[in-house]
């Protein structure tokens, strides 16, 4: 997907977004699993160990366009950081927060709000490596928006218009483009230099020197890198990743980066981006090979894109990426689901796994890109043509918009 900067004033501070003018189909290079990875081998510990003590919260500031915008007021950022974190509360409908303050997500939330890791008796240990299986474990608590059953939520009144804006006759497009790597808790942390650091969570990050990059090492696209720390249950994501190899080892440069504590429901601050345009984590919304063929069940919403979006966002998104104020275009965070009366029995078992998840959990708009592109992992085990061919039988008119929460336009 192609990202473009746009400058917009937000309550006295500056934010940026991206909006495509054209959306060429980008075909990523195949990701090859390295026989001897640079991350440590299986340690004696596992993700079932107790979580480490909470670290001090790093200072976070506001992202701007460095070429055209002034430096935001330090006093404004101090006021922003002083506000309480926004978290999702059990029983809150998906897509609508318990409260809607412009709040800050601490990188390491208070221990009282953290869900402890599952015991060994409750789940299969998460494996290590590129595109490794999570053994059925879900990132984030069960009541997180990504993990919420929305099959019985009401339909948004503007659903027909919003779906039509994306394309009634356009097909669902399987886009297996983003890899990830699972590392142990003792994976060495390395510095990450951010070219626009004001909305990035400061490092160091546990990124292996051979971490897979979206599109491959020579790609010119978004170049996301996703790292899951299994033992500390943290997610590290960077956008426009560029490894810097030197005598002292490999460090990284990137445009922006975000850290998510997968044991909490904490959100990023209102108006902040992440490694994704909507300010959301990428990994929890990926269509993963292990879920389809090992677990044979997807228990979370999926991530999707469309070409034209509104200059607005709805929960759980925290950021928009458009100049258009047209209310009939979808805002970031919009959630659609496959209609309940859609007959999934006409598909293969693998495709049925995907379609049942789209009926139960839906998919969340997270970036500008191809219309109805649902993002999967860049995994050589996929039979891309078979699954993509089946999913193309699903059309835009087969989806409906789940009732949206408060719309933020500033």
Q: Which DSSP string do the residues of 326-360 spell out, in sequence order?
A: -TTSPPBT-EEEE-TT---TTS-HHHHHHHHHHHH
Containing H/E element for 385?
Answer: helix 384-391
Cα–Cα distance for residue pair 325/37, rounded to 1 Å: 47
**According to the model, what pLDDT value does residue 38 have?**
53
- Report DSSP letters for 39-94, one per residue: SPPPPS--TTSPPPPPPPPPP------TTT-PPPPHHHHHHHHHSPPPBPPTTPPT
Q: What is the pLDDT of residue 115?
A: 53
Tens of pLDDT along the chain (410 residues) come to 444 433 333 333 333 334 444 444 333 344 344 444 555 544 433 333 333 344 433 333 333 333 333 333 333 333 333 334 445 444 444 444 444 333 333 333 333 345 545 433 345 789 999 999 999 999 999 999 999 999 999 999 999 999 999 999 999 999 999 999 999 999 999 999 998 899 999 989 999 999 999 999 999 999 999 999 999 999 999 999 999 998 888 999 999 999 999 999 999 999 999 999 999 999 999 999 999 999 999 999 999 999 999 999 999 999 999 999 999 999 999 999 999 999 999 999 999 999 999 999 999 999 999 999 999 999 999 998 899 999 999 999 999 999 999 999 98
The pLDDT, as a whole number, for residue 33 is: 40
pLDDT at residue 206 in the model: 98
Angle between helices 384-391 and 349-360 (to 10 degrees): 50
Q: What is the dihedral of CA 217, 368, 271, 103, to 10 degrees?
A: -80
Asked whether 51 and 233 are in contact (CB, 8 A), the reply is: yes
Quote the DSSP letter at residue 296.
-
Which is nearest to 43 in space by CA: 180, 181, 187, 139? 187
Beta carbons within 10 angstroms of residue 196's beta carbon: 18
From CA 124, how far away is CA 309, in angstroms rounded?
A: 39
Phi, psi of 239 (to 5 degrees): -115, 140
Q: Strands 129-130, 181-183: parallel, antiparallel or unpaired by DSSP?
A: antiparallel
**Can you list the positions of beta strands (E) in 128-185?**
129-130, 173-176, 181-183
In this prediction, residue 123 carries a pLDDT of 58
């Amino acid at each position: 997907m192609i990202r473009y900067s746009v400058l917009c004033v937000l309550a006295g501070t500056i934010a940026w977004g991206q909006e495509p003018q054209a959306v060429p189909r980008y075909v990523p290079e195949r990701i090859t699993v390295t026989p001897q990875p640079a991350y440590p081998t299986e340690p004696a510990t596992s993700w079932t160990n107790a979580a480490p003590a909470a670290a001090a919260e790093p200072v976070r500031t506001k992202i701007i366009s460095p070429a055209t915008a002034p430096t935001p007021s330090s006093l404004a950022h101090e006021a922003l950081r002083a506000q309480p974190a926004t978290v999702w509360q059990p029983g809150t409908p998906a897509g609508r927060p318990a409260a809607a303050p412009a709040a800050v997500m601490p990188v390491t939330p208070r221990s009282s709000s953290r869900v402890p890791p599952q015991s060994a008796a409750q789940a299969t240990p998460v494996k290590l490596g590129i595109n490794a299986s999570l053994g059925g474990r879900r990132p984030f608590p069960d009541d997180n928006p990504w993990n919420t059953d929305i099959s019985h939520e009401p339909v948004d009144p503007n659903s027909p218009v919003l779906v039509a804006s994306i394309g009634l006759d356009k097909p669902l497009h399987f886009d297996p483009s983003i890899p990830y790597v699972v590392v142990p808790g003792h994976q060495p942390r390395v510095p990450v230099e951010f070219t626009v650091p004001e909305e990035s969570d400061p490092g160091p990050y546990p990124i292996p020197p051979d971490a897979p990059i979206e599109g491959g090492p020579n790609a010119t696209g978004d170049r996301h890198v996703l790292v899951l720390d299994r033992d500390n249950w943290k997610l590290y994501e960077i956008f426009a990743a560029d490894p810097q190899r030197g005598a002292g080892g490999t460090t990284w440069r990137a445009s922006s980066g975000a850290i998510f504590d997968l044991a909490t429901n904490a959100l990023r601050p209102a108006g902040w981006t992440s490694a994704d345009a909507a300010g959301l984590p990428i990994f929890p919304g990926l269509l993963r090979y292990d879920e389809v063929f090992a677990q044979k069940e997807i228990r979370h919403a999926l991530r999707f894109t469309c070409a034209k979006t509104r200059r607005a966002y709805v929960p759980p998104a925290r950021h928009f990426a458009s100049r258009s104020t047209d209310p009939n275009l979808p805002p970031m965070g919009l959630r659609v689901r496959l209609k309940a009366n859609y007959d999934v029995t006409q598909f293969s078992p693998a495709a049925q796994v995907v379609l049942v998840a789209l009926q139960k959990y839906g998919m969340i708009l997270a970036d500008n890109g191809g219309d109805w592109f649902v993002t999967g992992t860049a995994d050589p085990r996929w039979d891309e043509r078979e699954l993509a061919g089946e999913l193309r039988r699903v059309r835009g008119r087969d989806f409906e918009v789940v009732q949206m929460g408060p719309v933020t336009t500033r």
